[in-house]
Structure 1
Amino acid sequence: MPRYYLDTSDNENFVFDDVGVEIASFEREASRAMADFAKDVLLGSEVRNLAIEVRDDAGPVLRVVFASRSSTPLCADAGRRAIPLAG
């Protein structure tokens, strides 16, 4: 089975995969990895540019990109509203 390497970048931070994984379908693995990656880093972010670059021993084979922009910061209280107390 071929070995693929999934390098990741989060805004300006790049992580080089020097171990790789042996998989039959790099497209499915890249999609799953991006979903996990985005789930782990997006909460609380205003701007994120994520990418996973898949390569084999011969070079690049696929690049998956996800960009997220929020006009307001996300917070734990989003969607709640104050209810005045009767007095």
Structure 2
Amino acid sequence: MPRYYFDLKTGNSVAVDEEGVDLSDLEAAQSEAAQSLGAMARDAAVTGKGTEQMEISVRDDDGPVMTVRFSYDISRKKTN
């Protein structure tokens, strides 16, 4: 079973996955990355930040295999 690593980038910070996780195939890795990114986006939206960009770079033991990205922007017309 292949091992996939999920490196997280938010803004200017990068968290490198040193452990990885064993998954059946690339489709399972894509699903894991998309679900994780969706949960992180949901959490970030609750904080109400104006702009957020996140991405998860997925790699296996041979190197990069995909990048999953999410971004949103909140543009207020009034502050209160």
Structures share a fold, TM > 0.5? Answer: yes
Matched, 1:38 2:41: yes
2:52 equivalent among 42, 45, 48 = 48
Name the aligned partner's letter for residue 23 of structure 1: L
1:4 corresponds to which residue? 4
Q: Aligned equivalents of 1:11 and 1:63: distance in 2?
A: 15
Q: Name stretches of at least 5 consecutive residues in structure 2 with no aligned partner.
A: none
Distance 1:34 1:26 in 2: 12
Q: Which runs of 4+ in 1 moved over 4 A?
A: none
Cα displacement (A) at 1:59: 0.5
Q: Distance in 1 between matches of 2:36 and 2:58?
A: 11
Cα distance in structure 2, aligned partners of 1:70 and 1:41: 12
More helix by percentage: 2
TM-score (norm 1): 0.77
Percent identity over the alignment?
A: 35
Unmatched 5+ residue regions in structure 1? Answer: 73-87
- Determine the structure 1 residue equivalent to 2:61: 57
Give the CA RMSD over aligned residues: 1.0
Which of structures 1 and 2 has the larger relative contact order (alpha carbons within 8 angstroms, sep 6+)? Answer: 2
Q: How many residues align?
A: 72
1:17 is matched with 17
Displacement of 1:42 in angstroms is: 2.4
Larger Cα-atom Rg: 1
SS at 1:42 equivalent? helix
TM-score normalised by L of structure 2: 0.83
